[in-house]
Amino acid sequence: MSYCCSDDCGGLDFTKTPVAEIYGSNCFSNAVMRERLPKNIYKEILAVQNGEKELTLEVAEVVAASMREWAIAKGASHYTHLFQPLTGLTAEKHDSFIAPTGEGKILMEFSGKELIKGEPDASSFPSGGLRATFEARGYTAWDVTSPAFLKQDRTGTTLCIPTAFISYYGQALDKKVPLLKSIDALSKQAVRVLRALGNNTTKRVFTTVGPEQEYFLVDKGFYDQRPDLMLTGRTVFGVLPAKGQEMEDHYFGAIKERVADFMRELNYELWKVGIPAKTQHNEVAPNQFEIAPVYANATAAVDANQLVMETIRSVARRHGMEGLLHEKPYAGVNGNGKHNNWSMGTDDGINLFDPGENPESNARFLLFAAAVVEAVDRYALLIRSSVATSANDHRLGANEAPPAIVSVFFGGPLTEILDNIAEGKSGGKSVPGEKIQLGVTSLPALPKDVSDRNRTSPFAFTGNKFEFRMVGSSQSIATPNTYLNVAVAQVLSEFADKLEKASSKNEAIQSIIKESYGRHRKVVFNGNNYSDEWVREAERRGLPNVKNAVDALSVLTRSEIISLFETHKVLSKEELESRYHIYLEKYSKQINIEAGVTIEMARRAIFPAATSFAADLARDAASLAAIGAVSVPQEKRAKRIAELASELYDETAKLETTLSEAQGTGDAFAQAKAYFEKVRPAMDNVRTRGDALERLVAKEAWPYPGYEELLFKL
One domain for residues 98 and 28: yes
Closest CA to 142 of 81, 207, 85, 205: 81
Question: What pLDDT is recorded for position 636?
Answer: 87
One domain for residues 155 and 233: no
One domain for residues 525 and 600: no
Task: Provide mean pLDDT across the span 615-643.
Answer: 80
- Burial of 102: CB neighbours in 10 Å, binned 0-12, 13-18, 19+: exposed
Is residue 668 one of the residues assigned to a domain? yes
One domain for residues 549 and 663: no
Model confidence pLDDT, tens digit, residues 655-680:
999 999 999 888 999 999 999 999 99
Question: What pLDDT is recorded for position 453?
Answer: 67
Is residue 129 one of the residues assigned to a domain? yes
Closest CA to 471 of 588, 301, 585, 590: 301
Closest CA to 73 of 135, 21, 120, 28: 28
- Of 129, 147, 174, the domain-final residue: 174
Indicate the range of 30-34, 199-203, 407-411, 412-416 predicted with least confidence. Answer: 412-416
- In this predicted structure, the answer to whether residue 454 has a pLDDT above a threshold of 80 is no
Distance CA 200, CA 218 (A): 54
Closest CA to 90 of 314, 329, 395: 314
Alpha carbon distances (Å) from 159 to 69, 284, 348: 11, 37, 32
Distance CA 241, CA 102 (A): 67
Question: What pLDDT is recorded for position 630?
Answer: 59
Backbone angles phi, psi at 184, to 5 degrees: -60, -40
Distance CA 424, CA 510 (A): 9
C-alpha dihedral sign at 526, 527, 530, 531: negative
Task: Provide mean pLDDT across the span 461-469.
Answer: 91
DSSP sequence for 605-628: IIHHHHHHHHHHHHHHHHHHHHTT
3-state secondary structure at position 540: helix
CB atoms inside a 10 Å sphere around CB 664: 9
Helices 559-567 & 573-601, crossing angle to 10 degrees?
A: 120
| First and final C-alpha spacing in the chain | 16
Model confidence pLDDT, tens digit, residues 10-63:
445 666 778 888 999 999 999 999 999 999 999 999 999 988 889 999 999 999
Task: Provide mean pLDDT across the span 263-275.
Answer: 95
pLDDT tier at 568, thresholds 50, 70, 90: very high
One domain for residues 193 and 145: no
Backbone angles phi, psi at 117, to 5 degrees: -140, 140
CATH number of the domain to which 614 belongs: 1.20.120.1560
Is residue 179 one of the residues assigned to a domain? no
pLDDT tier at 619, thresholds 50, 70, 90: confident
Name the H helices within 13-162: 19-22, 30-36, 39-49, 57-73, 112-116
CATH number of the domain to which 356 belongs: 3.30.590.10
Distance CA 662, CA 656 (A): 10
Question: What pLDDT is recorded for position 429?
Answer: 44
pLDDT tier at 89, thresholds 50, 70, 90: confident
- Of 174, 204, 235, the domain-final residue: 174
Question: What pLDDT is recorded for position 169?
Answer: 83
Model confidence pLDDT, tens digit, residues 107-152:
677 888 988 888 877 777 877 777 766 667 788 899 999 999 999 9
Q: How many domains does the chain have?
A: 3
pTM: 0.92
Indicate the range of 75-79, 305-309, 353-357 predicted with least confidence. Answer: 353-357
- Of 128, 148, 174, the domain-final residue: 174
Is residue 580 one of the residues assigned to a domain? no
One domain for residues 549 and 627: no
Percent over 90 (pLDDT), the chain: 69
Question: What pLDDT is recorded for position 104?
Answer: 66
Domain that holds residue 33: 6-174
One domain for residues 277 and 360: yes
Distance CA 459, CA 455 (A): 10
Backbone angles phi, psi at 597, to 5 degrees: -65, -40
Task: Provide mean pLDDT across the span 324-328.
Answer: 96
C-alpha angle 301/303/309, rounded to 5°? 95
Task: Provide mean pLDDT across the span 212-222.
Answer: 97
Closest CA to 583 of 301, 343, 385, 307: 385
Q: Which residues pair with 339 in a beta bridge?
A: 212
Is residue 577 one of the residues assigned to a domain? no
One domain for residues 500 and 589: no
Q: What is the mean pLDDT of the chain?
A: 89
One domain for residues 111 and 249: no
Question: What pLDDT is recorded for position 5?
Answer: 38
- In this predicted structure, the answer to whether residue 417 has a pLDDT above a threshold of 70 is yes
One domain for residues 508 and 595: no
Task: Provide mean pLDDT across the span 699-706.
Answer: 96
Is residue 238 one of the residues assigned to a domain? yes
- Please tell me the chain's helix, strand, coil percentages from 3-state DSSP, rounded to the nearest 5: 50, 15, 35
One domain for residues 137 and 207: no
One domain for residues 438 and 542: yes
Is residue 254 one of the residues assigned to a domain? yes
Pairwise pLDDT comparison (633 vs 490), residue with the higher score: 490
CATH number of the domain to which 159 belongs: 3.10.20.70
